[in-house]
Chains A and B, each alone.
Chain A
Amino acid sequence: MPQSLSYLRETASQTAGPYVHIGLSPGAAGFDIYRRELGHDICGPNARGERIRVEGVVIDGMNAPVKDVMLEIWQANAEGHYAHPEGGGPVEEGFRGWGRVISDFKTGEWGFDTVKPGPTPGRNIGRQAPYLNFWLVARGINIGLHTRMYFEDEAAANARDPVLNLIEWENRRATLIARRDDSGAVPVYRFDIRLQGEGETVFFDL
């Protein structure tokens, strides 16, 4: 026998189940327990950049809304910096860039307020177009799904983006691009996520 490697094995994922809210967003489950729930305020009061709202619904393979989904958002600030020691630079006080979003139990609709992120460095060359990282969990999802939301009004940057260009099927790239609606006081981006079937959203193995 050759020498053995001493790595540990990653703990396996299990579904977050229908009652994920108890642990991660107890107010949505129907009770008040913590002094402060985490993830309600993504960007804080001091964030520079354009204030936006993002709305959508997650749709299952039967074309029905997923009413018990939890989404987490991870994003850079307007300068393209993440709130992390390796995040590329400083962020505004109070900017965490992370949030938790719960769908409405009756309709499946969800939404959150934040600032539009700036472009971030690519792996090797160039810059990535602005995007929000999404992570979805729900009953029936065995391991959290990673995807990204890009912005319709960044067409030139999207056309150069190294990750969008890695998606071989050009028609599938559109599943990651949110539509912008300027009819209200704040720009609203619409980002519906299709888990399965026609127009299935691109998900990533990161």
Chain B
Amino acid sequence: MKKPGEFYQRNRALHPPALTPGYKTSMGRSPRYSLISLQNSISEITGPVFGPADIDPGDNDLLSNYAQPGESPIGERIILHGRVMDENARPVPNTLVEVWQANAGGRYRHRNDGYLAPIDPNFGGCGRTLSDETGYFYFRTVKPGAYPWRNHVNNWRPAHIHVSVFGTGFVQRLITQCYFEGDPLIPHCPIVQTIPDPDAIEQLVARLDLNATIPLDTIAYKFDIVLRGRRSTLFENKLEGN
């Protein structure tokens, strides 16, 4: 019988490094010394556990979770769906997936966002859900708008949805951004381009999924998320003990 062991070492080559001069804010917020590499102890193979009591069923519907009764936000109605898997291609069930985004005009409902596009009174811009037994999750929302940001004076963020995922161990913790197929701003974005690996960028681009639309109602994009996988230990290599 194989026992679950440590998580695979993170492949740092497909993640952005800390220091990325094209994204100016990283200059002062990036450690200069090397990270100290640790093997997993009990605090790395464990992580917080969430259940249905933590959230409400409608939390994953951004079309309704902040709208006045009978109203809905302005914008292109979309389903964002996919699976949370690990590097072994196994589903990651019952894991918390949280999202946040700008509205269709590119404005965030946040006290610090002063962009001139208007707040949508029927759109909060956040949602959360638990993946099911097969790792599957879905949200209903509007497609976010592109917006300008201060980096260089003419930088525009491609349409994107921020995604936060837990997994089963705290070392799987991940925050990323989901982009949309065909967006011409993707190759121009300094934040996207912090990622050195072109395939890793492609993996952040949700694909139009016509089979998952609701005809005459809502279009769909598919966004799968891969978290770090775990070793199966054939031979006991004690993780803990005295």
Contacts and interface: CB of A to CB of B under 8 A. Distances in A.
Interface of A: 6-24, 26, 29-31, 33-36, 38, 60-62, 64, 66, 68, 72, 74, 76, 82-88, 96-98, 105, 120-128, 131, 133, 135, 137-146, 163, 166-167, 172, 195-197, 200-206
A59 B32 CA distance: 14
B15 A9 contact: no
B175 A137 contact: yes
Interface in B11-33: 11-12, 14-18, 20, 23, 25-33
Contacts, number: 275
B225 A11 contact: yes
B37 interface: yes
11 contacts: A7-B89, A11-B174, A12-B176, A21-B110, A61-B30, A74-B43, A74-B46, A84-B46, A128-B41, A140-B26, A206-B38
Contacts of B89: 6-8
A195 B170 contact: no
B100 A24 contact: yes
Interface stretch (B71-79, B180-188, B191-199, B210-218): B191-199
Contacts of A85: 49
Contacts of A9: 11, 14, 87, 199-200, 203, 226
Interface in B134-186: 162, 164, 168, 170-171, 173-177
Given A142-B17, A142-B23, A205-B38, A10 B228 contact: yes
B239 A87 contact: no
Interface majority SS (helix, strand, loop, mixed), chain B: loop
A30 B85 contact: no
Contact of A87 (B15, B46, B176): B46
A127 B240 CA distance: 9
A149 to B, nearest CB: 12
A19 B112 contact: yes
Given A12-B16, A120-B42, A205 B10 contact: yes
Given A38-B96, A84-B46, 17 more contacts: A9-B226, A12-B203, A20-B100, A22-B101, A23-B164, A29-B108, A34-B55, A82-B43, A85-B49, A86-B42, A121-B241, A123-B39, A125-B242, A142-B20, A143-B16, A167-B36, A195-B31
Interface in B85-124: 85-89, 96, 98-101, 108-113, 124
B52 interface: no
B37 to A, nearest CB: 4
